[in-house]
Amino acid sequence: MTHRSQNGRSASIAIAATMMLAVLACAVPSRSHANEQQLQSLFVRVLITPNDIALNLQYARLAEEMGLVRKALAAYERILIQHPDNDDAKDGFYRVRRSLEPSFTDITFDLGGRYETNARQLSSRESRPDDFTARAKISILDERKAGGTRWRTEGSFLGDLHLDIHDLDYGRAEVLTGPVFSVGKTLRVHTAVGGSYAVLDKEELLAEAAIKIGIEGILEGALDKLEIRAGYQDLGNKFSDADAIVVDVVGRMTRSNLLMDNDVLAAYPRFKFSKPSNSSGSATTPDRLFPGDYYQAGATLAYYMPLISDIVFGVTANGYYRDYDQEIRNGTKDREDIFLSPGAQVIFKDLFGLKSSLRFEYRYEKNLSNDDFEDFDNHVVSIRAIRKF
């Protein structure tokens, strides 16, 4: 009796589930059909009264909800032609237009080398060897829609090989990924998580977990970009017995056509903060504080002007003030540095009709410190070939 009762109950549940699925299957197309009828009805009414803002907005929103984004875009455009200050239409227009942006993957190869007169950045009190360094860098930027959300992934792989000073050979890999959100007309917010790993002299220098928030189009584009990056660095035992928290804030502002056609002025303000897990830190070399306990504030300015055809000349100026909260060799507790680096570049663009460029650069580096052993100057000459895919 019990066995039959259980079989009957199971059969009843199965029949009920089948009926529910059948009802849902009928309901979905019915709802879709109803939306299509409503959209068609709204379209007819829009044709009769094309200047009715509320009616056009209703049509645009329903079309957007149904995934008919091009019809929605056309409706928002109709409103803005007659009423360019309508905020609802502007928000909808930019939202739909961004949803139509294609997926892309950009890969950039950056190969080159440099010569430095003071590769270790040592003071005049010490022997200052020069050196040649070969550098290779690959950068990847991928952006696409994933589950209705715009998703961006950034990665970079960098390596430095020195001709003579091999204990400065360096490598670093980094990946950050996360969604991109659109806010209003021009604002875009990118949040990302990831990490990096670095080696120095074939030994682990650090492994880092990081988060980043990037904001683009701030103040109606007055500030092109602002990135806030925070990382926890687990430092290699060979180089330090302390871990560190590092916060890096970088902005970007650009203006063009200031003094002549196609010239560009760019400014990159920067604030950086580094805090080790203990105040003593350690050192990669006897005279280097690592990790540093400091804050840093500065900026880079660059001005580029076209010379002839695809040749561009640029001048740069980089500087920052850095304040340490660590003892230095002469017993002074608070080390203070001022770093200055003017430079110049000549850029050959679009070589051979490809997305490539060749850059020649010179820069002078000067560090002024209340620790005499940290005063140094350095001349750097470099050449880079850049190819984008």
Q: Which residues pair with 158 in a beta bridge?
A: 137, 172
- Two structure tokens written together for 42: 């709204």
Q: Where are the alpha helices (DSSP H) in the chain?
A: 2-48, 53-65, 69-82, 87-99
Angle at 286 between CA 282 and CA 292, to 5 degrees: 40
Which of 387, 299, 291 minimizes the C-alpha distance to 348?
387
Q: Given this model, what pLDDT does residue 282 score?
A: 45
Segment 53-97, tens digit of pLDDT: 888 888 888 888 887 878 888 888 888 888 888 888 887 887 777
User: Phi and psi for 103 in degrees, rounded to 5?
Assistant: -75, 150
Segment 10-22, tens digit of pLDDT: 555 455 445 554 4
What architecture (CATH level 2) is domain 2-99? Alpha Horseshoe (1.25)
Q: Given this model, what pLDDT does residue 330 score?
A: 61
Amino acid letter for position 46: V
Cα–Cα distance for residue pair 182/192, rounded to 1 Å: 15
Contact 192, 215 (CB under 8 A): no
Contact 230, 245 (CB under 8 A): yes
Q: Given this model, what pLDDT does residue 244 score?
A: 92
Domain extent listing, the chain:
2-99, 113-388
Residues in the chain with pLDDT < 70? 1-33, 184-185, 218-223, 278-290, 327-332, 353
DSSP structure class, residue 7: H
Q: Which residues pair with 218 in a beta bridge?
A: 223
Neighbours of 66 (CB within 10 A): 15
Q: Given this model, what pLDDT does residue 374 score?
A: 87
Angle at 347 between CA 344 and CA 353, to 5 degrees: 175
pTM for this prediction = 0.76
CATH T-level fold of 113-388: Porin (2.40.160)
Q: Given this model, what pLDDT does residue 385 score?
A: 95
Question: In sequence order, what are the residues at sequence separation of 6 or more whose Cβ sits closer than 8 angstroms to the Cβ of residue 178?
Answer: 151, 152, 190, 191, 192, 193, 212
Contact 176, 153 (CB under 8 A): yes
What b-and-e string marks burial along 196-225, b requiring 16 or more CB atoms within 10 Å of the CB?
bebbbeeeebbebebbbebbbbbeeeebbb
Enumerate long-range contacts of 39-44, CB under 8 Å, 24 or more apart.
39/63, 39/66, 39/68
Cα–Cα distance for residue pair 233/244, rounded to 1 Å: 5
Which of 113, 56, 29 minimizes the C-alpha distance to 381?
113
Q: How many residues does the chain have?
A: 389
Contact 141, 152 (CB under 8 A): yes
Q: How far is CA 105 from CA 142, 152, 326, in A?
A: 4, 10, 44
Q: Given this model, what pLDDT does residue 109 score?
A: 96
First to last CA, the chain: 74
Q: Given this model, what pLDDT does residue 260 score?
A: 92
Cα–Cα distance for residue pair 353/348, rounded to 1 Å: 12
